[in-house]
Amino acid sequence: MQCKIIPEECIACGLCQLIAPSVFDYDDNGIVHFVDEPHAIHEFIPKSAETSVRQAAKECPAHVIFPSDSV
C-alpha cells in the first residue's frame, strides 16, 4: 500500500515512530518524515509494515498519516 503524510501539520509527538520505527522517523524539530525518503510526502509501505502504519495513522493525534491502497 501507499502512505501519505502531512509534515506541516505534525505536532511532533513521536508516536508514529514508536509504533512503526521502520517507516517513520523525525527531524531535529520532532517533525515526521519517512525513514527511507526523508523529503517525500508519500511512499510505498511494504506488507510487513502495513499493520503498524495503519495503527500509527489511527493513533496520530494530528491525523496527518494516510495509509491507502489507492493513492
The residues binding ligand SF4 (CB under 6 A) are 10-16, 26, 32, 60-62, 64-65
Euclidean distance between CA atoms 50 and 39, whole angstroms: 21
> Rounded to the nearest whole angstrom, what is the least distance from the CB of residue 11 to ligand SF4 in the complex?
4
> Rounded to the nearest whole angstrom, what is the least distance from the CB of residue 46 to ligand SF4 in the complex?
19
> Rounded to the nearest whole angstrom, what is the least distance from the CB of residue 5 to ligand SF4 in the complex?
6
CB count within 10 Å of CB 70 equals 5
Q: Which is nearer to ligand SF4, 16 or 45 (CB)?
A: 16
Place of cell 489507492: 70
Euclidean distance between CA atoms 48 and 27, whole angstroms: 24
